[in-house]
Structure 1
Amino acid sequence: MISCKLINKVLLSLFFCTVLFQVPARGQAIVYDILLAGRDVGELKISPAVGGSSNESFRVEGAISTLFYDVVYKGENQFERGVLKTSMSSQEVNGKLKERTKTYQTNDSYQVIFADAKSSTRKNPPLPSLINHTVTSLYYHEPINFRQVYSERFARMCPIRKVATSSYEVVMPDGKKATYHYTQGRCHEVESEIIGIGLVFKLRPDSLRR
């Protein structure tokens, strides 16, 4: 039998993997319930996109609460003319910074700063000269004809493929997978699974009527 401590570690890992959906350009945040084995353990808020179709800013913020962990995730993107200019991904566990990744476009390349509670490191990872899609942007746009998305947490490109009608699978650098399901261009559910434990991000119906 899987211990409660192991379940919570897996849940934490899945949460980081997935976060990191088509949202109205204006209005209030869209909310997704985070479910573990059908039990509500948190929520993810997707802020309305700011700007036009080519110059956009995205922001997501999520929180989960379990027996051993309280986790807060934040992600931000800024695009200009459809190209990623900056991104930030951060996670706090039990009120303390676990990790933060910042990405900046400089000339024809990207610089990345990895930080935790004790130190920070600047790197120039092998990335495309232009990044057009991120994991966060999957919450805002259905990835039709996408082949890769940028993981703001890992600072790596991740393959994405269509696995069914309006459903897409992303493989993270650590091998974890997440499947995004869309209806009429809007993401209504995300599924992740590891060692038999499923985590689901499910669109809260009443958030669309605000």
Structure 2
Amino acid sequence: MNRLIRLCFIIGSCLVASNPLQAQVHTFEIRLGSHPVGTVEARCNINGAARHMEIKSSLETRFVSKFTDISCDYNNNVLVQSRVTRSSGKNSDDAKATITRREGARYLINVEGEQSALNNTEILHSVSDLYFAEPKQINRIYSETLGKFLVLKSLGNGEYELTLPDGKKNFYRYQKGTLKEVEVNHTLGKAFIVRTG
């Protein structure tokens, strides 16, 4: 009987250890003024030293439709690869992609066909991370969409300012370490990404 109990315990432990941890899933609503115009779903799966994040967003107004899929893979907290696909319609013929891939001590970056490289660096934090954890003590973050590092500045009280290459600023607001709202200065005007679940 004791052998049977031990065997069941060992099998159960192996099953629990082999299953990845539950995914973190956060949903957001995109608002222009007080009008909802889209959604964002952020998903993070962790399995041992591997972490996979997906951010899917869709924005639809009378004048524009925009769909973005971001996928990031980390191993031992270092970005291994990311892929961003953006399209302005429901068909993928106009899709634009940014791909970042680690190769040895450097990253190869392809932004819509233009190749570049980041040498002798490790990407430890990307913009996708901002959806899952407050970026305490981080002052530079990699944009998977733009293929470059951006300045991140803490403003206090859980608010962070992300400066884009064109000088525009996005603001990330956290409560108790959880992202509650993103203020985006967009070509359509000021948009808010507000957590709903």
TM-score normalised to the size of structure 1? 0.77
Counterpart in the other structure of 2:111: 114
Cα offset, 1:176, TM superposition: 2.0
2:114 maps to amino acid = T
Q: Distance in 2 between matches of 1:172 and 1:127?
A: 22
2:137 pairs with one of 137, 142, 145: 145
1:162 pairs with one of 154, 165, 188: 154
Any gaps of 5 or more consecutive residues in structure 2? 1-20
Q: Name the structure, 1 or 2, with higher relative contact order (CA <8 Å, separation 6+).
A: 1
Counterpart in the other structure of 1:198: 190
Instruction: Give the alignment of 1:25-174 within 5 angstroms.
Output: 26-27=22-23, 29-52=25-48, 54-94=49-89, 95=91, 96-115=93-112, 120-124=113-117, 126=118, 129-174=121-166
1:145 maps to amino acid = Q
- SS of residue matched to 2:190: strand
Q: Distance in 1 between matches of 2:99 and 2:39?
A: 23
Cα offset, 1:178, TM superposition: 0.8
Cα offset, 1:175, TM superposition: 2.0
CA contact (8 A) 1:83 1:130 kept: yes
- SS of residue matched to 2:108: strand
Q: Distance in 2 between matches of 1:128 and 1:147?
A: 19
Q: How many percent identity over aligned positions? A: 21
Moved over 3 A (4+): none
Cα offset, 1:165, TM superposition: 0.9
- SS of residue matched to 1:159: strand
CA contact (8 A) 1:42 1:65 kept: yes
Cα offset, 1:154, TM superposition: 1.2
Higher-strand-fraction structure: 2
2:111 maps to amino acid = F
TM-score normalised to the size of structure 2? 0.82
* Bigger-Rg structure (1/2): 2
- SS of residue matched to 1:29: strand
- For residues 38-89 of structure 1, give each alpha carbon's deviation from its aligned partner in whole angstroms, at most 9, with x where no partner exists: 100000001133324x421110100011112221101011111111000111
- For residues 105-162 of structure 1, give each alpha carbon's deviation from its aligned partner in whole angstroms, at most 9, with x where no partner exists: 01100001222xxxx33322x4551010001111112100001000111111001011
- SS of residue matched to 2:44: coil
Instruction: Give the alignment of 1:5-20 within 5 angstroms.
Output: none
The alignment covers a number of residue pairs equal to: 175
1:101 maps to amino acid = T
Q: 1:196 to 1:105 in 2, by over 3 A?
A: closer
RMSD: 1.9
Q: 1:99 to 1:146 in 2, by over 3 A?
A: same
Q: Distance in 2 between matches of 1:165 and 1:127?
A: 35
